[in-house]
Amino acid sequence: MLKKKRTFISKILLASMCVSIVPATVALAEENAVIQENVSNDIEVIPMFGEPQATTSLALKSNASTGYSWKYTVVQGDSIVESSKSYMPDDTSGTIDGSGGTDIWIFKSLKEGSTTLRFEYSRSWEKDEVETKEFVITVDSKMNTTVKETTKGTAQIQLKANPTTGCSWRYSVVQGESIEEASTLYVTDAVPADIDGSGGTDIWVFKGLKEGSTLLKFEYLQSWLENAFYTKYFNLAVDKDLNVTITEVAEPPKDGPSSQINYDINGDSKVSLIDLVLLKKYLLDNTVVINKDAADINRDGQINAIDVALLRKVLLT
């Protein structure tokens, strides 16, 4: 009984700590951003007791069973140093052959300056890589770290967090399929190395897959609690060149974002005869690009003459 009471009290204390962490304004990079820090493989730097230091963890999806793996090189700079490298399989039971996993690097800030890292995903016996990523890691005079991924067609979301309280951010897709997660990172705040329990910043990097928009819901909560302490919504819009733009939005109505009909077929923030012409052209020969979510006006999952008639009615009224 005493053990259960102690466990309950501990959970209450952790919950109160979570509430005290007010997430900072989300950093939205139009081009990109990601986490990381880097390193010189030949030097292990041991910080002095009490010296301020930040760490950054970088996670990239991979599948060792295919022979592919991530490797990185330092393009320039020496402001960070690698602390550890690990691999986390998706299948922790070990019963599924060929399952993938995640490569994870942890870097420590070393000195003020910037470092550029280039990651390549390839097989050791093949000449060409199948994917490349490049990150610029900057360390300021107080050893705080910022990271930006320079890979085209990506963008990042940053949210303050403190996993030592038992709280963490998780997200779900409310609507859309125009993006995919490219990498995740966590950067600790710069504090003396002997101090435990400091917070940091969660970073998600998303890559554009196709033209369109995707709505994501982020919740900050403890795994054993049903209700979130904080909830945020972000719309990720991908243009025809697969560039990603992120905008924080208000909570969608309870009947879902699909109820929001803006009739803006061409995405110019206006509703006019141009939208009607484009919709008709799309149905005629499918040679124009339109906002398909806006074009499905009656929300039946199809774009057809009924939607044309509804849009015409809207314009006439």
What is residue 173's predicted lDDT score, i.e. its pLDDT? 93
What is residue 69's predicted lDDT score, i.e. its pLDDT? 87
Element (H, E) at 146: strand 145-149
- Model pTM score: 0.57
What is residue 268's predicted lDDT score, i.e. its pLDDT? 75
- Would you state the structure tokens that stand for residue 126, as one six-digit string? 């093949």
Report d(CA 149, CA 29) in Å as an integer.
9
| 53, amino acid identity | Q
What is residue 51's predicted lDDT score, i.e. its pLDDT? 54
- Would you state the structure tokens that stand for residue 51, as one six-digit string? 């010296």
Which residues of the chain are modeled with pLDDT < 50?
2-5, 8-9, 12-13, 16, 22-50, 255-260
Domains in the chain, CATH or no CATH each: 2-249 (2.60.40.2020), 261-316 (1.10.1330.10)
Residue 99: HSE in the Cβ half-sphere, 13 Å Cα cutoff: 13
Contacts of 267 (CB under 8 A, 6+ apart): 291, 294
Q: Where are the beta strands (DSSP E) in 162-298?
A: 167-175, 179-188, 191-192, 200-208, 212-222, 230-238, 244-249
What is residue 154's predicted lDDT score, i.e. its pLDDT? 86
What is residue 234's predicted lDDT score, i.e. its pLDDT? 92
Closest among 148, 154, 163 to 242, alpha carbons compared: 154
Q: Max Cα separation, the chain?
A: 73
Across the strands, what pairs with 188? 200
